[in-house]
Structure 1
Amino acid sequence: MSISGLKLITFDATNTLLKFRILPWHYYALIAKNYGFNGTEKDVKDKLLDSYKFMWEKYPNFGKGLIHWNKWWEKVVERTFEGQLPKGAEAQISKILIEEFKTSKLWCVAEGGRQLLNILGRKSINAGVISNFDPRLRDILKSVGILSHFHFVLTSYEVGCCKPDKKIFDIAMSRCGITSPSECLHIGDDMKKDYEAAISAGWRALIVNSDNPLASKSETPPNPEHLYPDLTAVANAIQKCEVKLT
């Protein structure tokens, strides 16, 4: 199937379409030092990743149906700095981090992202976002200047289901009135939640390399023709009609 046969291309957000300007654990440590934190950035990284995993297992999908997503992140911050800050400092830090992590101060468009979105626009292919994310995603996309490129933005929190659940891909199709999964392509960085999930839903899929420490791996490597180093390579391949999706 050629790229011209596609009616919808969707993107994962973090570490696919969007990149951090400053790594989260670096910025967490930077802000916390203003409140008396004396630990290292490595300490913060280890605790942050552990806290995120703990909270996701206890309150999946940013606490959807259990606690408000704001409170979910507050608990992540509390666990990350537990016993290392003056009483009440975690709440103040949480407010700062929740607000600033929805701006272009901390996010940017991944290399090749704008180029790829412009190509899709010229080819009149619908673009969308499917991401396991809280409701701030639209604010982020608007802040970095690309929100207008998308026919829809689906966050797991708002629709109530997460990748790799097939439902979120079905919802994406319905937003464009598409009934054939083979007319859809998803691009992401996570083998299980993006690549394998999209293929299981009947979609086509490409995967971009990532240093995301939370991305799941797979014992079965992807088709080498579906693996790209970044979105620039995807954009160039689409422009040259060299993408192989079979």
Structure 2
Amino acid sequence: MSLKGIKLVTFDVTNTLLKFRMPAWQYYTLIARDHGFTGNEAIVEGRFKESYKVMLNKYPNFGRSKITWEEWWTEVIKKTFEGQLPATANIYTIANKLINEFRTAKCWRVEPTGDRLLCDLRRQCKTLGVISNFDPRLNEILRNVKLQSYFDFVLASYQVGYSKPDKRIFDHAIEQCKYLVKPSEALHIGDDLHKDYEGAKSAGWHAILISNSHKPKESPESKHVFKNLEELSLKISENNIQL
């Protein structure tokens, strides 16, 4: 089956369509240095990853059911720098700065050929969408990197109320198409095996995994795995996609 049978194509955002210009913890370190932080970047990396994991377990989906997403990220930042800043530093000032900076193109870049791939899919008259485990900044970020206009809809998990791999977020995407698209006519593209690939498959969709570490004998089949969007874009232009 080629993309001829596909009416809807959706994308994950982080590490699929977009990548950080530098790792998040590296940017955290840069901002914190302006407020007197003198510690090692490796410490920030370790504490950031742990803080993010703790908060995601305690308050899933960026705290949607219990706290605001801004409070969620502020807690991640507080835990990351706890005991690491001088008394003169205001952690809320740092958190506000980071939360706002990560709305902008300072922190994000479009994957090579990402915009070209979206143009090609538009020319093929595909409905395009985003399905991402993300907070409400998502639309603003896509606008700031000049991608928002390509999409018919953008679903951020915080606003929808469900996170991938929950089938309901994929069902919600079908609803956005006014049920003119069947799950078997939808394709999701993402970098996470469980949340993106298996989540879409469980919802009855086709799926493509973006991964440069996939081993041929591992699931999914190699024909469903591409190293990056550039490789995928080439295969689509050659009409050489097997779903």
TM-score range, shorter chain: over 0.9
Q: Within 5 A, what are the aligned runs for 1:95-244?
A: 95-177=96-178, 178-209=180-211, 221-244=219-242
Partner Cα separation in structure 2 for residue 221 and residue 45 of structure 1:
30
Which deviates further from its counterpart, 82-91 or 156-165? 82-91
Partner Cα separation in structure 2 for residue 89 and residue 112 of structure 1:
41
Which deviates further from its counterpart, 79-88 or 28-37? 79-88
Aligned AA for 2:207?
A
Indicate the residue corresponding to 1:216 in structure 2.
Answer: none
Aligned AA for 1:63?
G
Which deviates further from its counterpart, 59-68 or 170-179? 170-179
Indicate the residue corresponding to 2:43 in structure 1.
Answer: 43
Whether 1:9 and 2:14 are equivalent positions in the alignment is: no
1:35-82: per-residue Cα shift (whole Å, max 9, x none)?
Answer: 111111111111111100000000110000200100100000000000
SS of equivalent to 2:207: strand
Indicate the residue corresponding to 1:215 in structure 2.
Answer: none
Q: CA RMSD in A?
A: 1.4
Q: How many residues align?
A: 238
1:174-201: per-residue Cα shift (whole Å, max 9, x none)?
Answer: 1012341110000000000000110011
Which deviates further from its counterpart, 49-58 or 105-114? 105-114
Partner Cα separation in structure 2 for residue 176 and residue 207 of structure 1:
23
Aligned AA for 2:139?
R
Whether 1:91 and 2:78 are equivalent positions in the alignment is: no
Distance 1:210-1:89 versus aligned 2 partners, 3 A rule? farther
Aligned AA for 1:92?
T
Contact 1:31 1:93 in 2 (8 A): yes
Unaligned stretches of 5+ residues in structure 1: 212-218
SS of equivalent to 1:71: helix
Shift of 1:220: 5.2
Aligned AA for 2:103?
K
Aligned AA for 1:243?
I
Aligned AA for 2:176?
R
| TM value normalised by structure 1 | 0.94
SS of equivalent to 1:14: coil
Indicate the residue corresponding to 1:60 in structure 2.
Answer: 60
Contact 1:112 1:231 in 2 (8 A): yes
Aligned AA for 2:242?
K
Partner Cα separation in structure 2 for residue 28 and residue 55 of structure 1:
17
| TM value normalised by structure 2 | 0.95
| Identity over aligned pairs, percent | 50
Contact 1:189 1:210 in 2 (8 A): no
Unaligned stretches of 5+ residues in structure 2: none
SS of equivalent to 1:61: helix
Indicate the residue corresponding to 1:214 in structure 2.
Answer: none
Aligned AA for 2:184?
S
Contact 2:212 2:226 in 1 (8 A): no
